[in-house]
Amino acid sequence: MLGFGAWAIGGAGWGASDAGDEAERLATIQLAHERGITIFDTAPTYGNGASERLLGRALKAHRDQVVIATKVGPRDEPRRSLEDSLRRLDSEYVDLVQLHETLDRWEWQLERLYTLREEGKARAVGLCNATHLQLARALEIAPVASYQAAYNLFDRDVEERELPLVRSRGLAFLAYRPLAAGLLTGKHASPPEFPPGDHRAGIYWFKGREFERRRAVIERLRPLARQAGVSLSGLALRWLLARDGVTVVLAGARNRRQLEENLAGGAGGPPLTRDLVETINGITRAVFRLPRPTAQAAQQARAWGTRERFIVERLDGSHTPESIAAEWTDRGEQPMVAAQVKVFVDGMVEHGLVDAES
Ligand SMILES: NC(=O)c1ccc[n+]([C@@H]2O[C@H](COP(=O)([O-])OP(=O)(O)OC[C@H]3O[C@@H](n4cnc5c(N)ncnc54)[C@H](OP(=O)(O)O)[C@@H]3O)[C@@H](O)[C@H]2O)c1
């Protein structure tokens, strides 16, 4: 199902003007509810509490008809964090409280969240951004209900380990960044210049070779979207909604126009055909195929660090960035994500260390 991602609506960190458009942001949440969206995802950090406050105001009269999911930060004391969230949300409970990240004290935090659930302040507990090893461990500590991570047709780390685990253990999966933070709407023909304070200035796919690869995919998706009679964002959302194991697709929208477009594309209409899904997957596979190292680079890599060697040894034509990152993460040390593999290999390309023909 399509859910509402309430980060941008918090009005900060997305280049939005802070105060002026508050009425529009409130109206966007109200419209989401009117149009049948029943799950809203927020966090204390979104707009420094503004997202939770807006959700509280907009959804107060319909509290029992909606699911509100918030988070507890990796450095936060769970009780204080959740109680502050409840005050901002003007609610006695949240339906789901999620650990935003799993850093040093995450097991301790998870146990505290269960105490809060027993007290009725949260109806369920979930994890975000954990590795599959942490998720498996969490399931030994307590009955985790959900897992939230980035997933869209470009960012597919979860397909390797977490989604299969989520499916086999019957957890809900909430996919975030379904539009790659706006890129999958197709509105950026060249690398965007974000205004000061917009966190996307630091995201690797809005620049360099990764931007070019994604743009190449988007240009090939446009005619497919036209044929299917949907917008590009609609195609991206429906692709995600069709993936096995995906429970909720958390699409962000900063105003009613964006919400309407995402609803029209993502929530209505027939699902994508199997053929179309395969065509899309074929396009991404081809564009993100990893090159092979030159013989000289393979030789040089023997003197590089363990992580770098690990990557280079797997540039053999049979691995994807996601599979390399997952194999590394299996070791239980510092995890790796596909983005790190891609950025590293792009560095090799720039230094002439890959085979141009591969
Ligand atoms: N657990 C976590 O660590 C985590 C991390 C990230 C996100 N999330 C959750 O997932 C939700 C969704 O992710 P996200 O908001 O980061 O990314 P997203 O849904 O991929 O992208 C949302 C952004 O894309 C642009 N956009 C959306 N619809 C559009 C349309 N129809 N036309 C043009 N532009 C459009 C808007 O930004 P512009 O107009 O500024 O381009 C909007 O804010 C968040 O709101 C949050 O609830 C969770």
Ligand 1: does its nearest atom lie under 6 Å from the Cβ of 186?
no
Rounded CA separation 299/338 (Å): 23
237-267 residue pLDDT tens: 999 999 999 999 999 999 999 999 999 887 7
Confidence band for 19, pLDDT divided at 50, 70 and 90: very low
- What's residue 274's pLDDT? 92
Beta strands in 177-260 (DSSP E): 248-252
Confidence band for 136, pLDDT divided at 50, 70 and 90: very high
- What's residue 268's pLDDT? 67
Ligand 1: does its nearest atom lie under 6 Å from the Cβ of 16?
no
Per domain, the residue ranges of the chain are 2-281, 295-350
Q: Does domain 2-281 have CATH number 3.30.1600.10?
A: no
Of the given ranges (19-28, 160-169, 291-300), which has the lowest mean pLDDT? 19-28
Q: Ligand 1 center to residue 291 CA distance, Å?
A: 31
Residue with CA at minimum distance from ligand 1 atom 15: 252
Rounded CA separation 199/156 (Å): 21
3-state secondary structure 263-331: HHHHHCCCCCCHHHHHHHHHHHHHHCCCCCECHHHHHHHHHCCHHHHHHHHCCCCCCCHHHHHHHHHCC
Strands 146-150 and 125-128: parallel
Among 59, 46, 61, smallest CA distance to 16 is for 46
pLDDT surpasses 60 at 133: yes
284-307 residue pLDDT tens: 999 999 999 999 999 999 999 999
Q: What is the mean pLDDT of the chain?
A: 95
Half-sphere exposure of 334 (CA within 13 A, CB side): 3
Tokens representing 108 are 């301790």
- What's residue 21's pLDDT? 87
Rounded CA separation 67/98 (Å): 13
